[in-house]
A = this chain, B = another copy of it.
Amino acid sequence: MVPPTSATGRRRRLPPEQRERQVLDAAVRVFSRVGFHDASMDDVAEQAGLSKPMVYTHGGGSKEELLRRCIRREADRLLTSVAQAAGARAAPGEDRATEDRLRRGLRAYFATLTTHRDGWSVLYRQARTGTLADEVHRARARIVDRVAELLAAELPGPDPADTRTLATPLAAALVGAAEGLADWSASGGTEDPEALTELLLALVWTGLARLRDHRPEP
């Protein structure tokens, strides 16, 4: 918050990575609080404790590019966290393995969103319209795809093609449900990733299991 000052003077030189982090942190914060359009580059600069030219130099050269980088960073953070937690694909037949992987993934998802309240969950809504719609769409699609992959491994129905076709909308619904829970969590609900995860699994797991066995309705 306070501009870094050296012992002898006012301006300290910092390595570019630190500056970029400084700028992106400030931008994520400001964009999340007041919204991308209502935020001015002055706001970002002030939040970062830097001058505006620094924001431009280390933020990509334009307000839009700055948002793009914020989105990318937060999406990466989330995706990496979830992917690592979910781990490698389970061997076919390992029933519980998939459920556990989903569980671990969801925990990581909620944990990340809870820890970085200003990050992805707020940011990505800012840009669904306008020039960055594609960027956001791709970022979110990566997450959905990752989940779809996970589900596809779990839904080896008679027709593999059908399975993939089924897995994507299911993943979309699942991610949407997680987002809905995260919203609820943010506006008063529990913030415990564990509880959120179990709730969501309780809601969908048996449905997924049934779909896996290809008996959509008994």
A169 touches B181 (CB 8 A): yes
A172 touches B198 (CB 8 A): no
Asked if A202 is at the interface of the complex by the 8 Å CB criterion, the answer is: yes
Specify how many copies of this chain sit in the oligomer.
4
Contact-residue size bin, chain A (C-beta under 8 Å from the other chain):
35 or more
Contact with B along A6-37 (1 / 0, CB 8 A): 00000000000000000000000000101111
Q: Which of A32, A38, A170, A206 is the most central at the interface, judged by chain B CB atoms within 10 Å of its CB? A: A206
Nearest-Cβ distance from residue A185 to partner chain B, whole angstroms: 8
A202 touches B184 (CB 8 A): no
Known contacts A204-B207, A207-B206; decide if A129 and B173 are in contact (CB<8 Å).
no
Q: Which of A43-51, A85-93, A209-217 contacts B (4 or more CB under 8 A)?
A: A209-217
- The 4 closest A-B CB pairs, nearest first, are A176-B180, A35-B129, A172-B184, A177-B177
